[in-house]
Amino acid sequence: MTFATLHWKTGYDTEVEEIDLQHRYFMSLINRLHAELASTTDAEYRRKLFDELTKYASFHFVSEENLMIKFGYPDHDLHHALHRQLIDELSWRSQSKSEEELFDFLIRWFIEHTVQEDQRFGDYVKNLAVGAA
């Protein structure tokens, strides 16, 4: 897979506003990281860009998991494990893989995780709202 700029699609919406806003920013960060890495050879700047992406992912995961706890999401522990796995793999891949492989991984992970795992949580929250009405 060759990097293609990510564009938001309605299929990525979880209909949980806070999560969707963070996902949109996460997507823009992936796009910016790719563009910036292509335009610089400054090792310190490149390292800081990866650090920014990793720290934002960590922030987003904690925020998302807090919502899962708030709403009593039964698959919270599994979702947390998936998040932890991404952070570990992102750290490893950013140090030992080519940039193309890293971006292929990021794109694939972002799309699959958002469309599959995060959608399950969005559906769970929607069902709670329907049950409360």
pLDDT in tens, 9-38: 999 999 999 999 999 999 999 999 989 988
Radius of gyration of the chain (CA): 16
0.85 surpassed by pTM: yes
Q: Which helix (H) or strand (E) holds 83?
A: helix 76-96
pLDDT tens string 52-106: 998 999 999 999 999 999 999 999 999 999 999 888 887 766 666 677 788 888 8
- Report the pLDDT value the prediction gives residue 1, as an integer from 0 to 100: 43
Cα distance between residue 41 and residue 70, in whole Å: 43
Burial 121-132 (b: 16+ CB within 10 A, else e): bbebbeeeeeee
CATH number of the structural domain 17-132: 1.20.120.50
User: How many residues does the structure list for the chain?
Assistant: 133
Strands (E), 4-121: none
Burial (CB < 10 A; 0-12, 13-18, 19+), residue 14, is buried
Residue 130, both tokens: 């329907």
- Report the pLDDT value the prediction gives residue 17, as an integer from 0 to 100: 95
